[in-house]
């Protein structure tokens, strides 16, 4: 059944045996499986960033399990202080550390391997990596020491330890240096003519993500630096409304970096798992461009029930911007599966409307992870996101569990699942190590997605009964005025707990084989074994 | 199957635009229509839920 | 058609065709519906967040709350005054780690201007079980022109993290027929 499970080389350009890029002699290798030219310096940094990413994913995952076990009202595991501490820890490890380390790895890969160029600067790559790593370790240490129980958003005037803000600034500046190195790499590829015409679509998507990242990190600096100076009592407290506006320029747009990176990974995995081609370059590239142009305004989604921002401002920012960015996602939501459909039909799976879908390589975790990511992101993440971000509807959703119910289907069910699927190719192709426990790998995307979906649906329903996010006690024990929810919320919170356990098992099914493969896996000399 | 042909047609970058851009993806089109329908149902159900709460300006 | 991993000739901008074109058209149409829904509701709907707010120093807000309580107090529950504002008039609720003060007693179908502000951190004003949620910021007097349409006792819970006592921060609104 090798035709059902096409190996990577089907999709990729065959290149000459010798690298023809701009690499110094001995500083590149030709991948035996894909024919791509891999810059050895870039390869080292891709490995470093990917390993750190997985470490933070595991740390964030352990915290996730513990807080899910606390939200499950029948278990209510952690004491209140540790619940809030680990919620802070979980948010930052997942949304900032795992994602940013992985994204820098993806940027370095996309620029060097797909444009057949060397990395612009090893020095910059080291500087960025060290800043990110020092920042990340300091950040986690400060949170676990209990000095900074402020949630990921650290809304002023709630105040954390100065090192909390400083370490976030370190991570942001380190990431910015990585992004600058990426742009420099794209520049030298163009200068040295290592590719002809326009950059590949996946690189175009990566450039989109990188541009949004610069805007995002600019907002991050704009708010974190004055907040840090306030924490060491140099500046007065930031205005809370201004803080929210600028912070969400960081917080919302950083998720749009994820979306652009995730969509690029979809195109990449479609190509290497089933040989999908780009149906219309203009359509896909225009859709990426819409992200850059319009996503900026979407930080307004977090201020829809705030004082001091007028209805006109909110409607303008929500509608005008958001829906053209939504249009972009709806376009990718068609072009990506359509490319898969066209490729599979071409391979002879042409029966009926969905014969191609049945014939897809569902046993390949690179494919199943990518396709599940697409479905969960579109059907659950997209629909809930647009609805909750509607100006007036936000009144019945703001700060309830409906919000994390939404973003666990975008960032976890979408981005994280896609990045995991990518790892099923990164490890054999970049680390050149074989995955052990292949049956577990094949099942992993399904288990993880199932857990995330149960968790997110539980959160959404509990939230629609008013259960607050970031809240330790649905019984309000000891409160001045008694308060409680509809009893059915206990069932939905039970789904949060059970979904959390299943997703955590799915996470371990990813982390354990990946770590074993990277450190002890059988060395791959020739082509990678087909999934 | 046909590995050589496929590999050849991806390297062929310069002449990539020759030939028809038309493609047939009826299955995906149906899937996206289902998405749009679910979207509309969820979206309007939320407006309905909003209409039931206290009046506020 | 090219692989998304291959560079392409620069003349890549082509109009979409077939089902792709149809989908983009439908998606665009849906985006127009989404865009028009909000201004429509702003003028025709009864639930809107207009963000009416005034800057206010926390101490001055606390003084106004105190004055409001003293002139309109009708009872006490759990040591917290119950205050009944005149229909159509101003009402105040102050958020502070970790209480809402005072208890408001309102009449169903009457409209009130409820002023919300915080004396310390950011808080969330979440009315249960109807699940209406608004943000409270220190330094801002957030005015909600609100008309309760159901009677009963409505707990108010805080849904913005405000420190270790966050989950014990509650208040109350009583709506009489």
Q: How far apart are CA C113 and CA A289, in angstroms?
A: 44
**Can you tell me which residue has the tokens 């917080």?**
A251
In a structure prediction context, what are the per-residue pLDDT tens digits for chain A, which is 531 residues long? 333 344 555 555 544 444 468 999 889 999 999 889 999 999 999 999 999 999 999 999 999 999 999 999 999 999 999 999 999 999 999 999 999 999 999 999 999 999 999 999 999 999 999 999 999 999 999 999 999 999 999 999 999 999 999 999 999 999 999 999 999 999 999 999 999 999 999 999 999 999 999 999 999 989 999 999 999 999 999 999 999 999 999 998 888 899 999 999 999 999 999 999 999 999 999 999 999 998 877 788 999 999 999 999 998 888 876 689 999 999 999 999 999 999 999 999 999 999 999 999 999 999 999 999 999 999 999 999 999 999 999 999 999 999 999 999 999 999 999 999 999 999 999 999 999 999 999 999 999 999 999 999 999 999 999 999 999 999 999 999 999 999 999 999 999 999 999 999 999 999 999 999 999 999 999 999 999
Interface test with B, best of C5, C15, C20, C106 (most B CBs within 10 A): C20
**Contact criterion met (CB < 8 Å) for B30 and A353:** yes
In this complex, the residue of C2, C132, C149 whose CB is nearest that of residue B13 is C2
Sort out which chain A residues have CB atoms less than 8 A from C39's CB and list them.
315, 319
Sort out which chain C residues have CB atoms less than 8 A from B3's CB and list them.
none
Return the percent helix, strand and coil in chain C, to nearest 5.
Answer: 25, 40, 35
Strand C103-107 relative to strand C112-118: parallel, antiparallel, unpaired?
unpaired
pLDDT attached to residue A437: 95
In this complex, the residue of C5, C12, C157 whose CB is nearest that of residue A268 is C5
Residues A452 and A408: beta-carbon distance below 8 Å: yes
Sort out which chain C residues have CB atoms less than 8 A from B31's CB and list them.
none
pLDDT attached to residue A128: 98
Sort out which chain C residues have CB atoms less than 8 A from A278's CB and list them.
1-4
pLDDT attached to residue A9: 53
pLDDT attached to residue A10: 53
In this complex, the residue of C6, C41, C50 whose CB is nearest that of residue B10 is C6
DSSP run (H or E) holding C149: none
Q: How far apart are CA C78 and CA A371, in angstroms?
A: 55
Residue B5 pLDDT exceeds 70: no
- CA torsion angle A74 A77 A81 A83 (round to 10): -80
Residue B8 pLDDT exceeds 80: no
Question: What mean pLDDT is predicted for residues C75-98?
Answer: 96
Q: How far apart are CA C78 and CA B26, in angstroms?
A: 65
What's the angle, vertex CA A515, arms to CA A511 and CA A519, rounded to 5?
Answer: 175
Model's pTM, two decimal places?
A: 0.94
**Contact criterion met (CB < 8 Å) for B6 and A275:** yes
Alpha-carbon distances, residue A315 vs A307, A363, B54, C136 (angstroms): 15, 45, 21, 20
Give which of A467, A366, A483, A481 is closest to A72, Cα–Cα: A467
Residues A521 and A435: beta-carbon distance below 8 Å: yes
Q: To the nearest whole angstrom, how far is the Cα of C147 from the nearest Cα of chain B? A: 5
Please, what's the largest Cα pairwise distance for chain C?
Answer: 79
Q: Which residue has the higher pLDDT, A396 or B7?
A: A396
Residue C109, phi-psi category: left (phi > 0), alpha (psi -120 to 50), beta (remainder) = left
**Contact criterion met (CB < 8 Å) for A280 and B31:** no
pLDDT attached to residue A294: 87
pLDDT attached to residue A318: 85
Give which of A92, A94, A100, A70 is closest to A83, Cα–Cα: A70
Which residues touch A522 (CB under 8 Å, ≥6 apart)?
A433, A434, A436
Minimal Cα distance from A394: which residue of B?
A: B50
Residue B1 pLDDT exceeds 60: no
pLDDT attached to residue A18: 45
pLDDT attached to residue B22: 67
Q: How far apart are CA B43 and CA A265, in angstroms?
A: 29
How far apart, in Å, do the first and last CA atoms of chain B sit? 65
- CA torsion angle A494 A497 A499 A504 (round to 10): -170
Residue B2 pLDDT exceeds 90: no
Judged on CB neighbours under 10 Å (0-12, 13-18, 19+), A443 is middle
Residues A296 and A390: beta-carbon distance below 8 Å: no
**Contact criterion met (CB < 8 Å) for A240 and C34:** no
Sort out which chain A residues have CB atoms less than 8 A from B7's CB and list them.
9-10, 12-14
Residue A348, phi-psi category: left (phi > 0), alpha (psi -120 to 50), beta (remainder) = left
pLDDT attached to residue C43: 96
Whether the CB of A84 is below 8 Å from some CB of chain C: the reply is yes
Determine which of A8-12, A305-309, C78-82, C119-123 has the lowest per-residue pLDDT on average.
A8-12
Residue B7 pLDDT exceeds 50: no
Sort out which chain C residues have CB atoms less than 8 A from A330's CB and list them.
23, 27, 30
Neighbours of C46 (CB within 10 A): 15
Hey, which chains touch A, using 3+ CB pairs under 8 Å? Answer: B, C
Q: To the nearest whole angstrom, how far is the Cα of A398 from the nearest Cα of chain C? A: 6
pLDDT attached to residue A8: 56
Hey, which chains touch B, using 3+ CB pairs under 8 Å? Answer: A, C
Q: What's the mean per-residue pLDDT of chain C? A: 96
Minimal Cα distance from C108: which residue of B?
A: B54
Whether the CB of A112 is below 8 Å from some CB of chain C: the reply is no
């Amino acid at each position: 059944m090798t035709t059902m499970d096409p190996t990577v080389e089907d999709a990729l350009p065959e290149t000459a045996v010798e690298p023809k890029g701009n690499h110094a002699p001995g500083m590149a290798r030709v991948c035996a499986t894909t024919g791509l030219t891999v810059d050895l310096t870039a390869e080292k940094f891709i490995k470093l960033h990917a390993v750190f990413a997985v470490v933070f994913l595991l740390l964030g995952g352990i915290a996730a399990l513990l807080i899910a076990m606390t939200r499950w009202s029948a278990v209510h595991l952690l004491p209140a202080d540790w619940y809030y501490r680990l919620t802070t820890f979980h948010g930052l490890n997942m949304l900032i550390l795992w994602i940013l380390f992985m994204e820098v790895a993806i940027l370095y890969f996309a620029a060097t391997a797909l444009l057949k160029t060397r990395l612009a600067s090893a020095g910059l790559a080291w500087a960025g990596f060290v800043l990110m790593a020092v920042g990340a370790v300091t950040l986690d240490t400060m949170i676990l020491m209990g000095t900074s129980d402020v949630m990921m958003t650290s809304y002023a005037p709630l105040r954390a330890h100065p090192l909390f803000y400083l370490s976030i600034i370190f991570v942001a500046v380190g990431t910015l240096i990585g992004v600058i190195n990426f742009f420099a790499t794209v520049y030298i590829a163009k200068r040295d003519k290592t590719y002809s015409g326009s950059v590949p679509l996946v690189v175009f998507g990566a450039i989109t993500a990188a541009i949004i990242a610069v805007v995002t990190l600019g907002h991050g600096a704009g708010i974190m630096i004055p907040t840090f100076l306030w924490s060491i009592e140099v500046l007065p407290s930031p205005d809370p409304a201004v803080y929210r506006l600028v912070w969400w320029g960081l917080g919302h747009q950083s998720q749009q970096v994820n979306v652009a990176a995730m969509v690029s990974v979809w195109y990449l995995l479609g190509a290497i798992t089933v040989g999908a081609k780009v149906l219309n370059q203009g359509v896909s590239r225009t859709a990426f461009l819409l992200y850059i142009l319009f996503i900026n305004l979407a930080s307004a989604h977090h201020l829809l029930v705030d004082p001091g921002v007028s209805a006109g401002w909110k409607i303008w920012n929500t509608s005008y911007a958001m829906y053209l960015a939504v249009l972009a996602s709806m376009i990718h939501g068609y072009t990506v599966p359509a490319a898969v459909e066209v490729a599979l039909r071409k391979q002879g799976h042409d029966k009926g409307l969905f014969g191609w879908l049945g014939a897809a390589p569902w046993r390949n975790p690179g494919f199943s992870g990518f396709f599940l990511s697409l479905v969960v992101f579109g059907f659950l993440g997209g629909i809930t996101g647009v609805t909750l971000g509607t100006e007036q509807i936000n009144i019945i959703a703001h700060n309830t569990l409906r919000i994390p119910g939404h973003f666990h289907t975008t960032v976890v069910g979408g981005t994280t699942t896609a990045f995991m699927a990518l790892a099923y190719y990164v490890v054999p192709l970049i680390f050149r190590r074989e995955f052990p426990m292949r049956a577990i790998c094949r099942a992993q995307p399904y288990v993880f997605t199932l857990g995330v979906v149960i968790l997110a649906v539980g959160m959404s329903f509990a939230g629609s009964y008013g259960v607050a996010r970031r809240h330790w006690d649905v019984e309000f024990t000891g409160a001045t005025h008694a308060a409680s929810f509809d009893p059915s919320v206990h069932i939905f919170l039970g789904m949060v707990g059970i979904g959390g356990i299943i997703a955590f098992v799915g996470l371990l099914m990813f982390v354990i084989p990946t770590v074993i493969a990277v450190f002890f896996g059988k060395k791959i000399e020739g082509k990678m074994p087909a999934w | 199957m046909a590995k050589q042909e496929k590999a050849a047609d991806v390297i062929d970058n310069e002449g990539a635009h020759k030939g028809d851009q038309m493609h047939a993806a009826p299955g995906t089109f149906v899937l996206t229509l289902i998405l749009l329908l679910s979207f509309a149902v969820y979206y309007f159900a939320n407006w309905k839920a909003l209409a039931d709460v206290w009046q506020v300006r | 058609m090219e692989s998304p991993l291959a560079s392409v000739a620069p003349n890549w901008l082509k109009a979409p065709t077939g089902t792709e074109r149809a989908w983009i058209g439908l998606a665009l149409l849906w985006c127009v519906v989404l865009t028009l829904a909000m201004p429509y509701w702003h003028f025709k709907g009864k639930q809107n967040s207009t963000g009416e707010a005034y800057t206010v120093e926390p101490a001055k807000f606390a003084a106004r709350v105190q004055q409001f309580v003293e002139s309109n107090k009708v009872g006490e529950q759990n040591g917290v005054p119950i205050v009944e504002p005149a229909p159509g008039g101003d009402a105040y609720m102050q958020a502070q780690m970790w209480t809402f003060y005072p208890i408001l007693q309102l009449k169903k179908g009457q409209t009130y201007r409820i002023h919300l502000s915080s004396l310390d951190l950011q808080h969330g004003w979440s009315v249960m079980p109807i699940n209406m949620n608004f943000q409270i910021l220190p330094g801002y007097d957030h005015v909600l022109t609100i008309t309760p349409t159901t009677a009963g006792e409505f707990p108010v819970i805080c849904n913005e993290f405000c420190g270790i006592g966050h989950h014990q921060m509650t208040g109350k609104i009583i709506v009489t027929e």
